Structure 1
Amino acid sequence: MQTSYRPYPQQQVAPQRTPHSAGQRRGGIGPMMSSGPHHQVPLTQAQIAQQQQAAAMQVETAKRRSRKPTDKNLPDNIDDCTIGDMAARYRDLRDFERRLDATMTRKRLDIVDSVNRSVKRWKTLRIWITNTAEDQVWQGNSLSADTFDFSSNQEPTYRVKIEGRLLEDDDDVGQDDKSEDSKANSDDPDRMEEDPKPKATKTPKYRFSHFFKALSVDFPSSRKGIDQPVEWKKPEARAGPSSNLPAAADFDELTFKRCGDENIHITINLHRHEEPERYALSQELEDIVDMSEATRQETVMGIWEYIKLMGLQEDEEKRNFRCDDLLKKAINVDAGSIPKLNEYITPQLKPLPPVKLPYTLRLDEEFHKDPQPTVYDVRVAVDDPLREKMLSFLSNAGYANMLKEAATLDEQLATIIQAIHVSKAKHAFLASLSEDPTTFVRDWLSSQKRDLDVIMGESMRGVGEEASGDEWRKGGKDSVWSTINARESVTVLLSKQPIQPPR
């Protein structure tokens, strides 16, 4: 029995591919593209005219820009042609403007440098830790004699509140004033109590959650598994033009509730959040930079200053340095390169340990008769208060408008100075003409004719009687042959086509 095969439909059989010839389109996967170069669509007459018009406008704009006057200096001997000391006052104003521009530029560069360096200022963050007790045995949970229910479903609990506030510079003064007022009121028992004066409240710029990226609470080892862990981590900032934190990460106090009826010792761990991040340095690195905690940039700069102080740079290649015994222990290399300092110090940088705040959780009746919070002061780094003002100064929208206005005034001033130069030239011309008209006109006509002949290439300077002058025989950089007129004459003479002799 012969094996039968299912025939495929004839329309699905792929035709045999013919050899590809130039000029034909090749089939297959992908778009159909010609093998030769792609010719652009020819432009219409309107598009060509529009391009020519745009090019002509660019050329005309460049010509106007080149003809725009820029000189703002008065011509020489202008004081003899003016009334009063106006020219001297103008020069004084010009000198004052130069000094003012230099001062403003230097101050602006100083502000930019201060903003980029991100100078920090240390302040005190005061933290209060308190706890309350609920449904404890001593809080009146005794059974009533009139009831027949001797069971209770209420479980003793407690709440711990962690609150932080950044102290301002005048907080101590305010506390002293408050204590003096309370003392005065206590001395006079018959004095009527007055309502406290409302103080102007303002939203603090830095809140408790701003300085920490995580918080955790360690319970005693004997209670592990009984108390649920307490952990908080700061979420990432929202993407977009405003990098504000969500509401869950912007707070001044944190409260958690747990079950319990006995006093225990807990430890609150606060993991610091700093920008730029600061690290704990190894002991070897600390001996060089003289800091136990520093940012990466501060560490690199400290090592660089140590290299310069000890003269460890190579004589030929200043980017390389040698290591003495102390530096070798810190970065673990015998010799290195200054651009690689960031790599050398990476193994020596460790994350800062968390701030540990021990707290005794009291649930007894004696403590809650007069509960007192546990207070800690933590040093934190904040931005320089002047940095925000400096940023607003640098990003001021009116500065660009002021520069445009100043540029417009400079253009107007240059135009006026150009007119003064023209008026000074006219004044000198007419003054010379009034002193000796005959000689002036003869010399002026002779000078104009000689210049016209030189420009046209019909004659050269120094031909005839004037060729015997010393100034025409003198060569060198300061001679008349290096002037613009001489160069123009030579250019015109060389550009002329030589006359072909008749054959």
Structure 2
Amino acid sequence: MDHKAAKRRKLTDKSLPNVILQNPDFAEDSQMYQSLLEMERKLDWTITRKRMEIQDTLSRNPSTTRTLRIFVSHTVSGQSWQAGTESDNLTHSETGENIPAWQLKIEGRLLELPQRGKDKGPPRKFSTFIKRMMVEFDRDTNVYPENNIVEWPRATGHHNPPLDGFTVRRTGDVPTHIRIVMYLDHYPEQYRLNPDLSSVLGIKEESLLGVVQALWNYIKIQGLQDKADRRLVRSDERLRAIFGVETIPFQKLPEYVKRLLSPPDPILLHYSFDPSLPVVEPERPTAWDVEIKMEDAALKNRMGVMLHTNKETSVALAKMDEEIALLAQSLHNSHLKRTFLQSFADDPAKFIQTWLESQSRDLESVLGAGASEGLTLRQEELRRSEFFRLPWVEEAVSVQEGLRLASKGM
């Protein structure tokens, strides 16, 4: 039972004794109350179970597949077609002015989901989606012997902050072909499956958990779980050729799967340009769309809201708790009235005698020095009291006699 349900139960228990257990007759006449209690138990159990499921999902961080759009473009400077007069064509090696050069830009961003609209919060930097990247320049090594490979390994720390993009500047005026090798940072981490296992499961790249789940589905469909010992998996012809064993303990499935996993293939991008050719119009960046698995922050936030109620919900629940406590107190008072009247109906004479004795004790407590002294002083007075000569006494005696005769007749 969750906190709110426990609090509600505590409030009602303070006002309402367990009349159901103490009074079987009352319980038989209170089927609606019992139904409400049963409904409350089911509701509390369902809420608790759903909360546990959400907490388990949050502990594993839900993931989703998004589209990352990568842009590659270039700009040039100091090229012959950009020069003006002959004086402007003079190059200055010390300052780098008028030396033919070009700049390569690699940028990227996530595409918005149509059904969600814009993501809440600041967008992630492009560099946070990349584990490692290499940029290779296909140029004549005799003319440009150095700096033809640029590598960027991601590292944490203030010296390597997140970036919106990368810019590489090189000198030259010859056609250049560029090859970009990019290793994406998936969440959860992705692996490439062994070709034989991939053909069995029908997947090429997946997380470790996804591969184990797919393998378990294959085992259930093929009926490979041992009938006597459910902890063992019997290999069929295809699994035997892959794992090389006849039986696999269920708890060792991840260990066997890991042996057949390898890092995923990188993203390869090819880009070519000729800086010596004049550009009539600004060229648009070349774009590629790639899929990347990442944490589903929106789903995580929605599930977190379900676990933490807001102020309005808390106020509404507190108001319901108070109403339940008042109704429980009203039910308790009604039960006391019913018990009072039922005891009078069962034996009016005994009821009156008990009631009078109770009133007498209360009166002695108020007027007398003690119970025994008060009774001694007023015993004769009580016996001769005009109270017992009132008309209702004869009516009560008649009712009692009628009930007695009716019970004998039955």
Higher RCO (CA 8 Å, separation ≥ 6 residues): 2
Write 1 or 2 for the structure with the bigger share of strand: 2
Report what 2:147 is aligned to: 227
Shift of 1:271: 0.8
Q: Match of 1:389?
A: 302
State how 1:91-490 maps to structure 2 within 5 Å. Answer: 94=37, 97-98=40-41, 100-116=43-59, 118-140=61-83, 142-144=85-87, 152-153=92-93, 154=97, 155-170=99-114, 204-220=122-138, 222-223=140-141, 225-227=145-147, 229-236=149-156, 248-367=160-279, 369-384=281-296, 385-396=298-309, 420-434=334-348, 437=349
User: SS of the residue aligned with 1:365?
Assistant: coil
Q: Distance in 1 between matches of 2:72 and 2:344?
A: 94
1:399-456 per-position Cα deviation (integer Å, ceiling 9, x unaligned):
899989888887777666555544443332233232xx269979xxxxxxxxxxxxxx
Q: How far 1:249 moved relative to its partner?
A: 4.0
Cα offsets for 1:237-282 (capped at 9, x unmatched): x7xxxxxxx6944333221212222121111121111222010001
What residue identity is the alignment partner of 1:210? T
- Work out whether residues 187 and 295 of structure 2, in 8 Å CA contact, stay in contact via their aligned partners in 1: no
1:483 corresponds to which residue?
none
Cα separation, partners in 2 of 1:387 and 1:291, compared to 1, 3 Å: same
Between 1:376-385 and 1:111-120, the stretch displaced more is 111-120
| Conservation of the 8 A alpha-carbon contact between 2:131 and 2:184 | yes
Check 1:386–1:439 CA distance in 2 against 1; reply closer, same or farther (3 A cut): closer
Amino acid at match of 1:217: V
**Per-residue deviation, 1:125:** 1.6
Specify the SS of the correspondent of 1:381. Answer: strand
Deviations 1:369-417 (A, max 9, x none): 4423211111222444322211233245868999898888877776665
* Contact in 2 for aligned 1:120/1:382 (Cα 8 Å): yes
Supply the distance in 2 between the matched residues of 1:431 and 1:362 (Cα, whole angstroms). 110
Q: Secondary structure at the match of 1:288?
A: helix
1:207 positional shift: 3.5
1:213/1:440 CA distance change after superposition, 3 Å: same
Q: CA deviation at 1:344?
A: 0.7
Structure 1 residues 92 and 339: alpha-carbon distance in aligned structure 2, compared to 1, 3 A threshold: closer
Cα deviations across residues 76-131 of structure 1 (Å, max 9, x unaligned)? Answer: 666999xxxxx787667556545543553454345345445644332322221110
Q: How many residues align?
A: 334
Q: Is the 8 A contact 2:174 2:274 kept in 1?
A: yes
Amino acid of the residue matched to residue 240 of structure 2?
A: K
Residue 323 of structure 1 aligns to which amino acid in structure 2? S
Distance 2:318 2:350 in 1: 51
Q: Which runs of 5+ in 1 are unaligned?
A: 1-66, 82-86, 175-199, 239-245, 443-503
Q: CA deviation at 1:213?
A: 1.6
Query: Take 1:367 and 1:72, find their aligned partners in 2: how far apart are those partners?
Result: 91
SS at match of 1:372: coil
Change (3 A) 1:337 1:141: farther
Q: Say if 1:150 and 1:336 are closer, same or farther in 2 by CA, change over 3 A.
A: closer
Equivalent position amino acid for 2:138 in 1: P
The match for 1:456 is: none
Contact 1:72 1:414 in 2 (8 A): no
One-letter identity of the residue aligned with 1:387: K
Contact persistence 2:135–2:149 (CA under 8 A): yes
Correspondent of 1:71 among 18, 25, 42: 18
For 2:82, what is the secondary structure of its paired residue?
coil
Change (3 A) 1:90 1:314: closer
> Aligned partners of 1:401 and 1:342: how far apart in 2?
48
The answer on whether the counterparts of 1:433 and 1:441 sit within 8 Å (CA) in structure 2 is: no
Q: Aligned partners of 2:205 and 2:350: how far apart in 1?
A: 90
Identify unmatched segments of 5+ residues in structure 2: 1-12, 355-410
The Cα shift of 1:137 comes to 2.3
